[in-house]
Chains A and B, each alone.
Chain A
Amino acid sequence: MALFARAPIAPLEYSRTLWMRLWVGAVMVFLYAPLVVLMIFSFNDSKRNVVWRGFTTKYYEKALGNDQLVEALINSLTIAALATLASLVLGTLAAVMLWRFRFPWKGAIDGTISLPIIVPEICLGVAFLMFFAAVGWPTDLVWPFNLGAITIAHITFCFPFVTMVVRSRLATFNREQEEAAKDLGASEAQVFRDVLIPHIKPALVAGALLAFTLSLDDFVITYFTSGPDTITFPVKVYSMVRFSVTPEVNAASTLLIILTVILTFIALKAQGVKAIAETH
């Protein structure tokens, strides 16, 4: 056996064929090139941000020094955290209800629960605008209560995603485990806590991640429900870009990307990637 001879490519070893490597490479470029460009130009020493003029970190200082931007980021994170928490509870309860019980109009409820996913965001945005105006939702509350309207809107489109993920996980639940727990003396509440929750835990993490990221980067619906005092990060970036795309925007966006990547990483690490992959 020659020590350095390469083994011939086996029939299913696609990762070693040239065309497959080119294809995968093209997909990667297509996916990540814009993000990489954004990150690189956040260090560009130029106001116009079109031509590379040298390395600097001053736009990071500028972005972090921009009180409005920081406030918008804090708003976004607060809304995302609240919306995630509420979506988890609501979404899980809805999933368990639809999985576990039989009741009148179940089919109709099952269908309408995912409506916020299907309805175009712009329609939802307008609908929320009209709704909050119609009920006379107060706009002069103190922080964080002034974020109420946006948070409610976010919960509405986030929790169906949690329901979807949790339901697909519940479908793999072995009902005999529930019976086994009852057989050993557990009450309904103990079965829920000791057997069902541990089973759907990966789906809860996946659902929380989905809800958090959806809420964090939502623009359309937020744009319609935010007031002058409740600017969120995406809305703020949009208003900054309207004047000019400065590296400051790039810097802020890069920080946000890093934040989401870290959060995702922690969540995946905490749960084990495998368990999350199983839910899909």
Chain B
Amino acid sequence: MTEPAKPIIQIQNVSKRFGKVTAVDNVSLDINAGEFFVLLGPSGCGKTTLLRMIAGFELPTEGRILIDGQDMAGIPPNKRPVNMVFQSYAVFPHMSVADNVAYGLKIAGVKGGEVKDRVAEALELVKLGGFGERMPDQMSGGQRQRVALARSLVMRPKVLLLDEPLSALDAKLRAQMQFELSELQEKVGITFVTVTHDQDEALSMACRIGVINKGEVAQLATPSDLYEYPSNRFVADFVGSVNIFEGKLTLDEPDKAAVDCPGVGKIYLNHGVTGPHGADVWIALRPEKIYLHVPGEGKAVKAAAQDAPDGYNFARGKIKGMSYLGDITLFEIELDDGARIRVSRPNLSRHDQEDFTWDDRVSMHWRADSPVVLLG
């Protein structure tokens, strides 16, 4: 995008309390016009409450929400320029597909001919052209969701809110819909705000992701930044699979750092951390960023030495567990120093899975830019 991002939704210091329970705790974030924004978090973290406050079904206890610069306080859901696709789709069962899609337009007083055209256009958009006369109970779950999508899109909202849109679909259909939703969003250019607990969904669809934990924003970042540069242990652990080691910062210079992790050894980094010397920190290391080697070949040592001039990231251990997942194999390795570490290895050839087995001695290394130092 070349033009500067303009916020369409501004959430300013919003809190929501249900009795003594704080569902959303002083959240501030801006959602830009035209972006696909995903609120990601575990169940009960407050992400759905946040979405419902944007739609107007819940009112903030504190703070305010602006949509397109207009304060939404006191504006009921039926007067807001947003539309929502519900988790259960909430398609009206007693109306045909076309009547479902036309409902909002009729309420808004749009004329008959235009209603017909816009309904047809919306159904075409979600690939349900020709399904107008069907009743919802004659359609599959995936199709009903498309009806719900069309019913919202036909209103040409400024923002489309989607509450766990893919959670009820089976794995294959979910993957397809992730793709289609992104495509649709690019086509219509409407801002999408989606709530999900599924990290794959978030990573594959979002322009930006807001990770929510216990009612607060844990991190706000693009999918790749979120995965590669998590800013805290919660995000590192929640998004993707990760090894987390506790350690002490023993070396910290502008171009290098080292963390002493009991059970693993010294972990070297090729960049500074700017933390106090001796501070307690955590190291996050993704399983796929660790290379496995058969011991004795010396290749591992060499590779590691090349990579980190001031001390290489190298470890030895024994395979304690394995799970073959087809595309990758996951290893659980007990290091000689005591810690357990998870390593994943792509099965690049059909015989890769035969390279290692239980109780094999292995060595491993990782690049000095792979570990992420977390201060909290």
Contacts and interface: CB of A to CB of B under 8 A. Distances in A.
Co-complex (A, B): yes
B47 interface: no
Nearest to B155: A184
B84 A185 contact: no
Given A185-B108, A186-B78, A190-B107, A176 B55 contact: no
Given A177-B92, A179-B57, A195-B92, A184 B86 contact: no
B87 A176 contact: yes
Interface string B80-92: 0011101110101
Interface in B222-256: none
Contacts of B151: 180, 184
Contacts of B309: none
Contacts of A186: 78, 103, 107
B44 interface: no
A182 B86 contact: no
B78 A185 contact: yes
Given A177-B92, A198-B94, A182 B87 contact: no
A61 interface: no
Contacts of A184: 78, 83, 103-104, 107, 151-152, 155
Contacts, number: 60
B76 interface: yes
Given A176-B86, A176-B87, A190-B107, A183 B77 contact: yes
B103 A183 contact: no
Nearest to B83: A183
B52 to A, nearest CB: 9
A194 interface: yes
Given A184-B107, A184-B151, A194-B103, A179 B78 contact: no
B189 to A, nearest CB: 21
Interface string A125-159: 00000000000000000000000000000000000
A222 B151 CA distance: 53
Interface in B44-94: 55, 57, 76-79, 82-84, 86-88, 90, 92-94
Contact of B78 (A182, A194, A198): A182
Which of A176, A182, A183, A190 has its CB near the most chain B CB atoms (within 10 A)? A183
Interface string A179-212: 1111111110010001100110100000000000
Q: Is the interface of B mostly helix, strand, loop or mixed?
A: mixed
A183 to B, nearest CB: 5
B107 A174 contact: no
B94 A187 contact: no
A176 B92 CA distance: 10
Contacts of B148: 180
A190 B92 CA distance: 13
Contact of B104 (A176, A179, A185): A185
Q: How large is the interface on A (under 10, 10 to 19, 20 to 34, 35 or more residues)?
A: 10 to 19
Contact of B94 (A174, A176, A190, A199): A199
A170 B87 CA distance: 20
Q: Is the interface of A mostly helix, strand, loop or mixed?
A: helix
B272 to A, nearest CB: 50
A9 to B, nearest CB: 35
Interface string B7-32: 00000000000000000000000000
A201 B57 CA distance: 26
A180 B94 contact: no
A181 B92 CA distance: 9
B74 to A, nearest CB: 15
Nearest to B85: A180
A122 to B, nearest CB: 43
B86 A180 contact: yes
A190 B86 CA distance: 19
A107 B93 CA distance: 32
A109 B140 CA distance: 42
A156 B209 CA distance: 58
B90 A174 contact: yes
Contacts of B84: 179-180, 183
B294 to A, nearest CB: 56
A93 B78 CA distance: 24
Nearest to A197: B94
Contacts of A183: 55, 77-78, 82-84, 152
B137 to A, nearest CB: 11
Which of A174, A180, A185 has its CB near the most chain B CB atoms (within 10 A)? A180
Contacts of B83: 183-184
A194 B151 CA distance: 15
Contacts of B108: 185
Contacts of A185: 78-79, 104, 107-108, 155
Given A185-B104, A198-B92, 16 more contacts: A177-B90, A179-B84, A179-B86, A179-B90, A180-B148, A181-B103, A182-B76, A183-B55, A183-B78, A184-B78, A184-B104, A185-B79, A186-B107, A187-B78, A190-B107, A201-B94
Interface of B: 55, 57, 76-79, 82-84, 86-88, 90, 92-94, 103-104, 107-108, 148, 151-152, 155
25 contacts: A174-B88, A176-B86, A176-B87, A179-B57, A179-B77, A180-B90, A180-B92, A181-B92, A182-B57, A182-B76, A182-B77, A182-B78, A183-B82, A183-B84, A184-B78, A184-B83, A184-B151, A184-B152, A184-B155, A185-B78, A185-B155, A186-B103, A187-B78, A190-B107, A198-B92
